[in-house]
Structure 1
């Protein structure tokens, strides 16, 4: 799994002009599922994200996690994170998981996060979504469950 994690002061996701998920201070996670991913990948990434120390402490240092800062989480599926544009001009998405498998692991990831974080909002799987955010910092971290070393 791949995740683009952005620390935000606010973020929302809309489908057909209707807001389906919105948060205040916390993390926006754009989540891509690879064809070889499994529940272990989702569990690893969920735990990594909610414990990532990218929130400021009393001294202004990035030293607190989402859990420690009582932040909110917005998770949006994004298969294009597995787009490969090394050849030609049109990305290939061959490494992205098929929709049924991707949705299963996306839902598992969200379920895991809901056990750890009080407020978890989502987009709508396979929908055309508009994502709005105010990146705080800016802080953006790229994570990949394949790179657990």
Structure 2
């Protein structure tokens, strides 16, 4: 499992000209699923996301607080392209991305479990063509992998 994590002052996702999820201060997480992902990967990624200390306090922008500590939101978007292989040719290969049915099952379990953290959780729509709007704060963008 891979997660591209962005610290944001706001983020939203639009499907068919309708906003389906939005947050203010918090994290936008693009989540990619591979064939071998399991509950263990879900737990690892969730634990890291909610406890990563990448927010500052009132005085400075040092990495001192987690999204949980600032009572921020998390916007989660499914993103199979995180597993793109671009070593050969000019078109990315997605052989390392999980098949849609399995990926959706893992994605839904991920959403279900992260909601247990009692944070504002917003999502896109799995498999939909989406427009994601973010205001990246910092910018801070991190890549996390359970592989």
TM-score band w.r.t. shorter chain: over 0.9
Deviation at 1:58?
A: 4.0
- Structure-1 residue corresponding to 2:69: 68
Number of matched pairs? 146
List per-residue Cα deviations over 1:17-65 (Å, max 9, x = no partner): 1000000000000000011111110111011111000000244211100
TM-score by length of 1: 0.95
Cα separation, 2, equivalents of 1:29 and 1:118: 14
1:90 matched to 2:91? The reply is yes
Q: Which runs of 4+ in 1 moved over 4 A?
A: none
1:75–1:123 contact (8 Å) kept in structure 2? yes
Inter-partner Cα distance in structure 1 for 2:121 and 2:137: 18
Distance in 2 (CA, whole Å) between partners of 1:3 and 1:67 is 17
The Cα RMSD (Å) is: 0.8
TM-score, normalized by length of structure 2?
0.97
Q: Which residue of structure 2 lines up, in the alignment, with residue 134 of structure 1?
A: 135
SS in 2 for 1:63: coil
Q: Which runs of 5 or more residues in structure 2 are unaligned?
A: none
Shifted more, 101-110 versus 50-59: the winner is: 50-59
